[in-house]
Amino acid sequence: MRDEIGEIQASIADYEVGKKLNIAIIAGPLSGKTTLLGEIERINLSRATGITFSEIVRDKKEISLPDDTKRIVLLDNCHFLYRKKTGGFDIFYEFLDMISTQERLFITTWNLYSWRYLNEVFGLEKYFPVQVVIPDFEKENLRFFILKRYGKEEIKFYNDKEAKEEPFIYVAKYPLELSSLGRKILIPVPKINIPYLKNRLLNKKETQTIEDRVFEKIYLESKGNPGVARRLWELGLDYPRIKPENIGQFSSNIELEYEEAFVLSLILSYQTLKKAEISDMIGSTLKVDETIFRLLTQELIFKDEAGFFRVRPEALHSVVAYMKKLRLVW
């Protein structure tokens, strides 16, 4: 994320010489926008005030800034500032008024799908001329991100006993999201084991080929999304051991009624929603229980300890493909 931090710091430097351009950090769920904002706050500790919205904001007081607020304001999870319903945009109007009338520089984070929706409806990009879209992680970055929590050689990478020798050619299943079909499919592709070949040709002892395969599978399945990658790692890890075969590949064949799909699109766009918030937005308490039950049984969402519903990380790419098929997210 070095480039993104550089871009944000350049905008902060411009602000210090009188050029105020608000910043929007945009990313899909579990992509690390809060981490990036935390890093920006750490770098600019003396001149920045950070505010995090952890659920939908209903009270205008929550967005009013105290007198001791510093010149740079960091607002995390700004997708919680609107409710997708009639009469649900009052806080959002206040927010737009605040950022356009104050002298402070606003650095905000947004869920990608909420941003796209709000941008089409309210032209949000006019208020945030600098938009930083968090890119997907590279394979090596994912490896570092996952292994940084463990000591050196704490994790043991191993293969099945009957497959001690690495195969010269093996089949890798490439996940492909087809929004036209509304699902993620796995395409088997034969792959040449280049590290193995190198080791054989150079008469070296094989070193990291199993580890490489573990992270290759994680990288392909997660599409470089760190949150999804971590979840796949946790599901495959039999501490302290892990093997490539334990890294799961997930493809959900989603079949939902339109109202259920709409609720799923809300959960995707807000990242975390309580049942009451869903009821409020769809305007029906009767349908919510049935809908949530359907989404839970299809293993598309889960309920966290705080009572919020979230999209399952391993189902994220399937859900996005399905939502794009229905054009419930843009």
Partner 1 sequence: MANGDTSAQQLLESIRSIDTQTLITMFLVFSIAYILGKIVTILLSKLSDKLSQSGRVKVKLIIPVVKFVIYIVAFYYIFRQIFIIFGTELFLLTGILGASIGFGVKDLFADFVGGIVITFEKPYQIGDKIALGNYYGEVTDIGLRATKLVTPDDNAVTVPNNLIFNESVASGNSGASEMMVVIDLYIAGESDVEAAMRILREAVVSSKYVYISKKRPVTLLHKALPFYTRLRAKAYVNDLRDEFKFESDVHTRTWIEFQKNGIRPPQLHILNVPPVEEISE
Unique residue bearing structure tokens 């929603």: 273
Please state, as a whole number, how many other Cβ atoms lie within 10 Å of the Cβ of residue 66.
7
Looking at 45, 181, 189, 194, which residue binds partner 1 (CB under 8 A)? 181
Number of residues binding to partner 1, judged by CB under 8 A: 25
CA dist 201 and 20 (Å) reads: 58
Looking at 19, 47, 60, 85, which residue binds partner 1 (CB under 8 A)? 85
CB of 120 to partner 1, least distance (A): 4
Q: ∠ CA 77-82-86 to the nearest 5 degrees?
A: 165
CB of 61 to partner 1, least distance (A): 22
Mark out the alpha helices in 45-108 (DSSP H runs): 90-101
DSSP 3-state of 306? coil
DSSP string, 187-255: EEEEEE-HHHHHHHHTTPPP-SHHHHHHHHHHHHHHTT-HHHHHHHHHHH-BTTEE-GGGS--------
Q: Which stretch binds partner 1 (CB under 8 A): 14-22, 25-33, 207-215, 322-330?
A: 322-330
Looking at 229, 319, 328, 329, which residue binds partner 1 (CB under 8 A)? 328
CA gyration radius, the chain: 22
CA dist 111 and 42 (Å) reads: 22
CB 134 within 8 A of CB 31: yes
227 contributes a contact to partner 1 by CB under 8 A: no
Region 121-180 residues binding partner 1, contact defined as CB under 8 A: 121, 179-180
325 contributes a contact to partner 1 by CB under 8 A: yes
CB of 259 to partner 1, least distance (A): 7
Question: Cα separations (Å) of 218 from 72, 166, 221?
Answer: 37, 18, 5
Q: Pattern of binders to partner 1 over 229-268, x per CB under 8 A?
A: -----------------------------xx--x------
CA dist 154 and 242 (Å) reads: 11
Q: Which stretch binds partner 1 (CB under 8 A): 15-23, 116-124, 185-193, 294-302?
A: 116-124
115 contributes a contact to partner 1 by CB under 8 A: no
Looking at 38, 88, 195, 227, which residue binds partner 1 (CB under 8 A)? 88
CB of 46 to partner 1, least distance (A): 40
CB of 112 to partner 1, least distance (A): 16
Question: Is residue 184 within a helix (H) or strand (E), and if so which, with residue range?
Answer: strand 183-192
Looking at 33, 84, 184, 310, which residue binds partner 1 (CB under 8 A)? 84
320 contributes a contact to partner 1 by CB under 8 A: no
CB 45 within 8 A of CB 70: no
327 contributes a contact to partner 1 by CB under 8 A: yes
Looking at 12, 57, 75, 89, which residue binds partner 1 (CB under 8 A)? 89
Q: Which stretch binds partner 1 (CB under 8 A): 45-53, 115-123, 150-158, 292-300?
A: 115-123
Question: Cα separations (Å) of 76 from 190, 270, 294?
Answer: 43, 12, 31
CB of 261 to partner 1, least distance (A): 9
Question: Is residue 72 within a helix (H) or strand (E), and if so which, with residue range?
Answer: strand 72-76
Which spans of this chain sit near partner 1 (rule: CB under 8 A)?
84-89, 117, 120-121, 179-182, 258-259, 262, 281-283, 324-328, 330
